[in-house]
Copies of this chain bind each other. A is one copy, B any other.
Amino acid sequence: MNGITKTARAFVPSHITGFFAAHRQEEPRLAGSVGCGLCLSLGATTTIESAPEIHDTEIFLNGARSEAPVSRYVVEKLVKEPVRVKTELSMPLGAGFGASGAGALGCAYALNSCFNLGLTANGAAAVAHEAEVTFRTGLGDVIAQNAGGLVVRLQPGAPGTGRIDRIPVPTMPISYVVHGPLSTSQVLSDEKTMTAVNLAGEAALKELLKRPTFTNFLQLSRRFTVQSGLASDWALEAIEAVEAAGGMAGMIMLGDAVFAFGGGSAEALRTFGEVHTTTISQRGANLD
């Protein structure tokens, strides 16, 4: 399709995890996480241009030159020549929206199309998953972003290796407030934290599968927020404010950020920061 211009573009939705348990493995395609999270229509649009005139691959995030090691890994894995990558993100960075996964996944899809690499969706996405796991920037965003909707990660691994299902859910509004970033790689490297996280995450998944509904996802995310020990005081207060207004909320894993649904949740969050409202994305990653 892009033989003449040598350019291709892909869209990837953001993804917020409600709860998770990490599964370490030597082999990146087997590593990942189980848990459950929501794809949101805030997304990343990545354009690839072949650029034979440059010496090194150039990556731009929202117009600014960036190192973007996760996306760079995908480029170097898939093509031998330098390219120009332009990713426009409509989601917050470093706040648990899966921005690095979205950039890497968009890169993989767009490179596949631009250079006619002949990879399937899972084949392209597996490279992005590998990049995320290698840089410890995420464990389960890519497989969920590849599918869209409210995704349950049943077995860890890259797209095509891990096993997922979805929980049926209409295209509903979700509000969120971001207080600050949280380093995914730092959390994942702390043994003590991860013991509590994994225990709470496995329990939540087991519970969710007994009754896989949107409401139950929200309740279990709320419980995980406390049991995992990851929540800040700010996050807990924001969640309680939403609940007092008749809504449901949980912390976005992993960011110092809160997502909420129903009741007067958007209003209730207003004292905690700038409130944004987006919708669930029913579609997963694909060419744009």
Contact = CB atoms under 8 A, between A and B. Distances in A.
A109 interface: yes
B118 A148 contact: no
Nearest to A119: B212
18 contacts: A1-B214, A1-B215, A9-B170, A109-B168, A113-B168, A118-B211, A118-B212, A118-B213, A120-B166, A120-B167, A120-B209, A122-B166, A123-B212, A148-B148, A168-B287, A170-B288, A171-B286, A282-B284
Given A1-B214, A1-B215, A170 B118 contact: no
B214 A168 contact: no
A126 B144 CA distance: 21
Contact of A167 (B116, B121, B284): B121
Given A9-B170, A120-B209, A123-B212, 8 more contacts: A10-B168, A112-B168, A116-B213, A118-B212, A120-B152, A148-B282, A169-B287, A171-B288
A263 interface: no
A286 B109 contact: no
Of the four ranges (under 10, 10 to 19, 20 to 34, 35 or more), the interface on chain A belongs to 35 or more
Enumerate the 5 nearest inter-chain pairs by beta-carbon distance, A residue then B residue, closest first.
A121-B166, A170-B287, A282-B283, A283-B283, A120-B165
A118 B116 CA distance: 42
A98 interface: no
Contacts of A109: 168
A117 B129 CA distance: 33
A170 B283 CA distance: 12
Interface in A179-214: 209-214
Contacts of A213: 116, 118
Contacts of A282: 148, 283-284, 286
